[in-house]
Amino acid sequence: MKVTLINHTENPDRVCAAAAQSCYSEKGATELFEATSDDRAEKMIEKVVGMGHLSVVEHAHFTFSVEGVSRSLTHQLVRHRIASYSQQSQRYVSMDRAEYVIPQTISDDPEARALYAKAMDEAWKAYRELARKVPKEDARYVLPNSCHTNITVTMNARELWHLFRLRCCRRAQWEIRLMAWMMLAEAKKVAPILFSDAGPGCFRGACPEGEYSCGKPYDKADPPTEDDLMVKSSGARE
């Protein structure tokens, strides 16, 4: 999996802070933006977000390239509706080369891995044979959810917060959880104020999962490693 932040609103922290200040000031956002320091931006965002005025962080947009993930992941990802997506097309891109995601639970079990590899080999063999007889858009029906794909994702900061709250959680499926943490790391590099508290719900208090809580909250000061994120999820959220 490769996650890259390829574009974003310039100075996203200051943009959102200026927008927030403009609600309470006679000055326009242009003047407020120029006068806003990082310290001022941090105080302003903390204040308005704490009051529940989340619309101000919608002014910052972030575009990610997510590559080498499974169709299983993207089926979950596109359920986040306040976003723009452009996904690699199996109608126009040949899937001749067998590229797919292998869950760690399968790769760690020799018998399961052999069974999985056999199924993948058969799927791609059928695809190649069908692609010689019918259009690729019809041959693709035999390809599995594990098939590699690439997707471009654009979200505003508010929707990213929502994604991180759900998908960084231990109950999220392992692959999308790994992607979410990688996206969060990229976002923090360019907007450290906006995403200072972003992450699973347990970062900001009691677990929002109620009776479905995993009982193992993440430590905000000690984020998980990639190996931690590759393990099986603690729940069944799709």
Question: Where do the domains of the chain lie?
Answer: 2-85+149-229, 91-146
Q: What is the torsional sign of CA 134, 135, 141, 147?
A: positive
Tens-level pLDDT at each residue, the chain (238 residues):
999 999 999 999 999 999 999 988 999 999 999 999 999 999 999 998 888 888 999 999 999 999 999 999 999 999 999 999 999 999 999 999 999 999 999 999 999 999 999 999 999 999 999 999 999 999 999 999 999 999 999 999 999 999 999 999 999 999 999 999 999 999 999 999 999 989 998 888 888 888 888 888 888 878 788 777 876 665 544 4
Q: What is the pTM of this model?
A: 0.92
Across 202-215, b (16+ Cβ under 10 Å) vs e yields: bbeeebebeeebbe
Residue with tokens 């959810």: 145
pLDDT value of residue 224: 84
pLDDT value of residue 229: 81
Using CB atoms within 10 Å of the CB of residue 40, give its burial: 0 to 12 exposed, 13 to 18 middle, 19+ buried.
middle
CATH classification code of 2-85+149-229:
3.30.1360.170
Is residue 71 flagged as an active site residue? no
| Beta-carbon contacts of residue 36 (< 8 Å; ≥ 6 apart) | 14, 17, 18, 21, 44
Report which of 104, 86, 238 is spatially closest to residue 154, judged by C-alpha positions: 86
Indicate which residue of 71, 158, 167, 171 is catalytic.
167
